Amino acid sequence: MTHVLPHLLNGLSLGLLFALIALGFMLIVGVMELINLAHGSLFALGAYFAMVIVAPDVAWLGAAGEAWLALPLSVRYVLAILVAPLLVAVVGMGLELCMRRTYGRKAEYGLLLTFGAALVIEETIRLVWGPSERYLQVPQAISGAFLFAGLVYSKYKLFAALFAMAAIALVWLLLERTPYGAIIKAGAHDSEMVRALGINLTRLRLLVFGLGAGLAGFAGIVLTPIWGLRPHVGIDAVIPAFLIIVLGGVGSFWGAVIGGILVGLAVGVTGAYAAEWSLLSMYLLLIAVVTVRARGLLGKKSALEA
Amino acid sequence: MTKRVSSAGRWLPREMAVLLVALATLPLWIEPVGLYQYLGVEIAIWMIYGLGFNLLLGYSGLPSFGHGAFFGIGAYAFGLFQLWAFESLWLGILCAVFAAFVAGAVVACFLSHRRGIYFALMTIAFGQVFWFIAIKWHAVTGGEDGLLNIPRPALDVGLASAGLESNTALYCFVLAVLAAVLVLLWRLVHSPFGKVLQAIRQNEARARFVGYNVWMFKWTVFSLSAAIAGLAGSLFSMAQQSAYPDVISLHASGIIVMMTLIGGGFVSFWGPVIGVTVYFLARDVLGTLTETWLLWFGLMFVVAVLFKPEGIAGAWQEHVGAASGRSRARRALAGLLSTGRD
C-alpha cells in the first residue's frame, strides 16, 4: 500500500487547491444565491494581472518599467499576489453593479448574465494578451523540486497547498470570528431581517461579490504556475468550483472545503491508475453524492430551490 | 386575440409559411447577397437544435447548460453508424435520434425532480461527463480529432434516390426536416401537453397540486428535446462530414442558450429561429470586420439579459404592441411573432 500514499498526498494538495478555487464561489452563492459562472474568467483575469505586474511590457512603460524589472522577482511576485486580487475584486464589483438589475427576477437570469460576462472577459483577455500560452514567473525560492522519502515532489505544489490553507484559514476567521462574518452569514440566512436591522445590504452584496472575485483572482495566481495560463483556463476552474459547491452543499463553508478535498482525492487517486479518466471521476462523484443527498454533503435547504 | 387562437390551431400558420418560403428560396439569393450555400445548411440545422432546446428553456423554464451533449451524441451516433455498420441515411438518423433520446432519458431521470439553478448545475455536470467521454474514449470517438470522413449517404425514398453530396442538395434535405420539426413542435406546444409545460414554467408547485405528474412531464420534455438535438446533430455530422467534441463543450452548450435567449425564446415560439439567424449572421458579418466578434456578441447577450430578457421577439412584440390600434398592417406583422406564445 506504500504506493498509494504519494497519490493520496498529491490528491490532498490538489484538493486544497480545489477548495481554494471554490471559496470565492461559495461566498457569492451563499450570500447572494447567485451562481457566478464568471468565476473562472475572474480566476484567469487574476493570473493575467499578476503576470503583467510581475513582468510588465517594458516597451510600454519605458524607464519606470525598467526600474520595476530591476527589483528582485520575489518582491514583484509578492506585490502581484497582493495587488492583482484587488484589481479583480474591482472588476467583480463592476459586475455586481450590472447584476443588480437581475435581483428579484428568476435566478436563471443571474446565471445567464454571468455566463455572458464570462464570455466577454475571456474574449477581452484574448484580445489584450493574445490566444497563446503565457507564463507567470515565480521566485526561485518556491520553484524546483525536493526529495522526500525517496520521491520527488514539486516545491511549488507544496507552497500552493500552503497558500490555499492560509486562504481557507483567513476566510474561516473572517466568517466565524468577526462581526462582518456574522453579517455575511446572516445575509445569506435571512436577507430581509438583516435589512430590517439597518444593515446596508446593497453594500454588503457589493463587498461580498468583490471578496469572492478577489479570491477567484488569488486562486488564479496560485494555480497558474501549475495549470499554465490560457484565455480559456477559466473553464478548468469554474467547473470544479461549482461541482464542489454542489457536492459540499450550497452556502456551507466546510462543505466547500471537504468537497474540494474529496474531489482532489478522487482526481488524484484515479489519476494514478487511469490518468486519462482522472477528471471524469469528479463528475461521477458529484452525481453519486447528489443522487443520494440532494443538497450535497452539508447543505441545508436553500432559497435557490424554490 | 382571436387571431392567436385561430393561428395556434393551424398546422401551417402564416409566419411559418413565410419562414419556409424565405428558406426555400434561399439557395437562389444567398450567393448574390454575398454569403454562401453552406451557411444555409448551418442555420437550418441550428434552427432545429434551437427549436428543440426552447421546449426546455422557453416553454418549460428548464435551463439546460449541457444540451450540446445530445447534439454531439447525435453527431457521433450518425457517424459511427455510417462508418461501422453501413451507409444509410434513414437508419443513421434513426440511430442518432434514438441514441440522443436514450441518453436524454437517462440524464432526465437524475434531473427531473430538480428545479432552477440546481437543474442547471446538474445539466452542466452531465454535459461535462459526455464531453470527457468524447475526448477520452479514443477507440470509439476518435478523441479530440473526432470522427473524420463521415459520408453523406444518398437520400433513398423507395424507388427514387438522390445524392446529397452538394451543399444545395443537403440544404434541401435539411430544410425538409426543419419543416417537419417546425410543424410537429408547433402542434406540440399548442397541445394540452404544451400547456402543461408552460404551467410548469410558471409555477411548478401549482401544476403539481392541480394533479399533473410534473416529474413525468419534465422527463418527457427533456428526452424529447434531447432527441431533437440528436436529430440536429446527425444532420450536422453529415454537413461537416465529421463529428468532434467541440460541440459538446460547455461553451457550445452555452451558445445555444444565448441564441435562444437573444432571439426571444422566453416569449415566442420563433425566438430560436431569430436567435440562430442573428448569431450566424453576426458570426459571418461581424467576423469579417473583427476577429473579436464573439466579444461583441457576448456584450450583446449581456445587454439583452440586463435590459431585454424577452429578446428580439419580445422587443418586436412591444414595438408593435405600442403602435397597435393605429395600423392594421403592423398588427398583422405582430402576428408574425406574437402567435408563438399565449
Q: Is it the case that residue B5 has pLDDT exceeding 70?
A: no
Interface test with B, best of A102, A109, A111 (most B CBs within 10 A): A111
Greater confidence (B13 vs B212) lies with: B212
Chain B nearest-CA distance from A230, in A, is 15
The answer, for A101 touching chain B at a CB cutoff of 8 Å, is yes
Distance CA A23, CA A29 (A): 10
Q: Is it the case that residue B328 has pLDDT exceeding 70?
A: no
pLDDT of residue B333: 55
Distance CA B73, CA B237 (A): 10
* CB contact (8 A) between residue B117 and residue A111: yes
Checking ipTM against 0.90, whether it exceeds it is no
Residues forming beta bridges with residue A148, ordered by sequence position? A151
pLDDT of residue A98: 87
pLDDT of residue B68: 93
pLDDT tens for A42-58 read: 999 999 999 988 888 77
The answer, for A102 touching chain B at a CB cutoff of 8 Å, is yes
The answer, for A120 touching chain B at a CB cutoff of 8 Å, is yes
Rounded average pLDDT over B190-209 = 89
The answer, for B254 touching chain A at a CB cutoff of 8 Å, is yes
* CB contact (8 A) between residue B116 and residue A108: yes
Torsion angles phi and psi, residue B161, rounded to 5: -150, 140
With cut-offs at 50, 70 and 90, classify the pLDDT of residue B340.
Answer: very low
Half-sphere exposure of B142 (CA within 13 A, CB side): 17
Chain B nearest-CA distance from A99, in A, is 8
- Helix, strand, coil: what percent of chain A each, to 5? 80, 5, 20
Q: What's the grid cell of residue B46?
A: 441550428
pLDDT of residue B334: 57
- List A residues 235-254 in contact with B (Cβ-Cβ < 8 A): 235, 239, 242-243, 246
Distance CA B60, CA B58 (A): 6
B173 near B239, Cβ under 8 Å?
A: no
Q: Is it the case that residue A150 has pLDDT exceeding 90?
A: no
The answer, for B111 touching chain A at a CB cutoff of 8 Å, is no
Q: Is it the case that residue A113 has pLDDT exceeding 50?
A: yes
Distance CA B41, CA A76 (A): 53
pLDDT of residue B1: 38
Q: B122: which chain A residues are within 8 Å (Cβ-Cβ)?
A: 246, 287, 290
CATH of the domain at B50: 1.10.3470
Domain chopping of chain A, boundaries? 4-133+157-305
For residue B121, CA distances in Å to A1, A36, A305, B279 come to 37, 11, 12, 25
Q: Is it the case that residue B56 has pLDDT exceeding 70?
A: yes
- Number of domain units in chain B: 1
* CB contact (8 A) between residue A120 and residue B307: no
Q: A246: which chain B residues are within 8 Å (Cβ-Cβ)?
A: 118, 121-122, 125
Out of B72-76, B148-152, B251-255, least confident range = B148-152
Rounded average pLDDT over B230-242 = 92
Greater confidence (B73 vs A189) lies with: B73
Averaged confidence pLDDT in chain B: 84
Distance CA B193, CA B240 (A): 35
pLDDT of residue B219: 94
pLDDT of residue B180: 93
The answer, for A277 touching chain B at a CB cutoff of 8 Å, is yes
The answer, for B251 touching chain A at a CB cutoff of 8 Å, is yes
Distance CA A226, CA A138 (A): 11
For residue A232, give the chain B residue with the closest CA.
B251
Greater confidence (B114 vs B275) lies with: B275
pLDDT of residue A192: 81
With cut-offs at 50, 70 and 90, classify the pLDDT of residue A167.
Answer: very high
Q: How many CB atoms lie within 10 A of CB B30?
A: 18
The answer, for B294 touching chain A at a CB cutoff of 8 Å, is yes
pLDDT of residue A42: 94
Q: Which of B116, B294, B302 sits opposite A117 (nearest CB)?
A: B302
pLDDT tens for A88-109 read: 999 999 999 988 887 777 767 8
Sort B28 into a burial class: Cβ within 10 Å, 0-12 / 13-18 / 19+.
exposed
B253 near B127, Cβ under 8 Å?
A: yes
pLDDT of residue A305: 47
Quote the pTM value.
0.84
Domain that holds residue B264: 2-338
Indicate the angle between helix axes A234-248 and B116-136, nearest 10 degrees: 130
Distance CA B311, CA B275 (A): 9
pLDDT of residue A198: 85
If you compute the radius of gyration of chain B from its CA atoms, what whole number of angstroms results?
Answer: 20
* CB contact (8 A) between residue B306 and residue A287: no
Q: A124: which chain B residues are within 8 Å (Cβ-Cβ)?
A: 295
Count of positions (residues) in chain B? 342
Q: How many CB atoms lie within 10 A of CB B326?
A: 9
Nearest alpha-carbon partner for B177 in B190, B164, B165: B164
Q: Which of A33, A111, A117 sits opposite B120 (nearest CB)?
A: A111
Chain A nearest-CA distance from B191, in A, is 26
The answer, for B1 touching chain A at a CB cutoff of 8 Å, is no
Q: Is it the case that residue A191 has pLDDT exceeding 80?
A: no
pLDDT tens for A124-148 read: 998 888 888 888 888 877 777 777 7
pLDDT of residue B52: 93
Q: How many helices (H) and strands (E) does chain A have?
A: 13, 2
With cut-offs at 50, 70 and 90, classify the pLDDT of residue B101.
Answer: very high
Q: B124: which chain A residues are within 8 Å (Cβ-Cβ)?
A: 239, 242
A215 near A167, Cβ under 8 Å?
A: yes
Q: Which of B126, B254, B299 sits opposite A115 (nearest CB)?
A: B254
Out of A14-18, A177-181, B2-6, B308-312, least confident range = B2-6
DSSP 3-state of A56? coil
Greater confidence (B336 vs B23) lies with: B23
Q: How many CB atoms lie within 10 A of CB A199?
A: 15
Greater confidence (B161 vs B145) lies with: B145
* CB contact (8 A) between residue B298 and residue A112: no
The percent of residues in chain A predicted with pLDDT above 90, rounded, is 19
Q: Is it the case that residue A172 has pLDDT exceeding 60?
A: yes
Q: Is it the case that residue B49 has pLDDT exceeding 90?
A: yes
pLDDT tens for B113-134 read: 877 777 888 888 899 889 988 9
Q: How many CB atoms lie within 10 A of CB B98?
A: 14
Chain B nearest-CA distance from A225, in A, is 24
Q: How many CB atoms lie within 10 A of CB A49?
A: 21
Q: Which helix (H) or strand (E) holds B329?
A: helix B328-338
Q: Is it the case that residue B337 has pLDDT exceeding 70?
A: no
Rounded average pLDDT over B168-187 = 91
* CB contact (8 A) between residue A306 and residue B116: yes
Chain A nearest-CA distance from B282, in A, is 15
Rounded average pLDDT over B239-263 = 88
> Is 2.60.40 the CATH classification of the domain at A4-133+157-305?
no
- Burial call A31-44: b when 16+ CB within 10 Å, e when fewer: bbbbbbbbbbbbbb
Report for A91-105, A281-295, B1-15, B175-189: range of highest mean pLDDT: B175-189
* CB contact (8 A) between residue A106 and residue B295: no
